[in-house]
Amino acid sequence: MDIYNAWFDLKAGVSDVEFADRLKTYMESLKNDGLMQGWRLMRRKLGLSAAPVGEFHLMMEFSDLAQLDSAFNRVGSRREPIEGVHFGVNSLVQNVQFALYRDFPDSIRHRGDEKF
């Protein structure tokens, strides 16, 4: 599983629950079209986080890089209906940082022949 992470803050005046509702619409559209396995939105608690990540953390799960690439191609097309829901989320956030992680050890890992 490849996990695409986004850490961010909401722009001033943005309702946290309105954002969460819009994000659900966006993420579920990708998931329902088979372009994502799952997703999870989290919010910093008690002010504890690694600096300088944002207040919110979004984890998007993809079966492999091919599925992630398909999702990027869909969103990157900038065509409706995905463009509207992407803009409806993207326009509400700031200070975004991204990272790509994978499960470890992943399913392709063979043990015993490593040279380092």
CATH code (residue 87)? 3.30.70.100
Q: Which helix (H) or strand (E) holds 27?
A: helix 16-32
CA torsion angle 26 29 30 36 (round to 10) = 100
Domain presence at residue 115: no
Does any domain span residue 95?
yes
Per-residue pLDDT of the chain (116 residues; tens, 9 = 90+): 999 999 999 999 999 999 999 999 999 999 999 999 999 999 999 988 887 899 999 999 999 999 999 999 999 999 999 999 999 999 999 999 999 999 998 888 888 888 88
Residue 110 lies in a domain: no
State the pLDDT at residue 97. 96
Report d(CA 17, CA 20) in Å as an integer: 5
For the chain, the domain total comes to 1
Structure confidence at residue 52 (pLDDT):
82
pLDDT at 114: 86
User: Which residues does residue 3 pair with via DSSP β-bridges, in sequence order?
Assistant: 61, 101
Domain region containing 8? 2-102
Residue 75 lies in a domain: yes
pLDDT of residue 99: 97
Residue 107's pLDDT is 82
Give the integer Cα–Cα distance in Å for 45 and 115: 42
Taking every pair of Cα atoms in the chain, the longest distance, rounded to a whole number of angstroms, is 55
**Domain assignment present for 112:** no
